[in-house]
Amino acid sequence: MPTTVYRQLLLRRDLIANIPVLSEGEPFYATDTKELYVGTSGVNMKVDIHYSAAAPSNWTATPPSNLMQAMDRVAVALVALGVHP
């Protein structure tokens, strides 16, 4: 039976007022607004893409209900931008 290995992923996090210019593909979690951002070519992009397994036409701009959903959205947003995590 294969062994499951869990890894902890730490995100840069701080108040939204303190967000730096993020590197390409670098995530940032705003602790006061509960928003997730990712760096794209010198611009910080707010991650608000909701992925539905049904089809890309079912994407909506709803905020994540928890951090795991937010991380899934980061991965989808990075792939959509051509940055593969």
Read off the pLDDT of residues 11-64 as tens digits, 9 standing for 90 and up: 899 999 999 999 888 889 899 988 889 888 778 988 875 544 444 454 454 544
Looking at residue 65, what is its pLDDT?
A: 53
Q: What share of the chain is helix, strand, coil (3-state, %, to 5)?
A: 25, 20, 55
User: 36: domain range?
Assistant: 12-80
Banded model confidence at residue 70, pLDDT cuts 50, 70, 90: low
Residues 30-40: tens digit of each pLDDT: 999 888 898 88
Overall number of domains in the chain? 1
Question: pTM of this prediction?
Answer: 0.53
Q: Which of 31, 35, 45 is nearest to 83 (CA)?
A: 45
Does the residue 63 lie in any domain?
Answer: yes
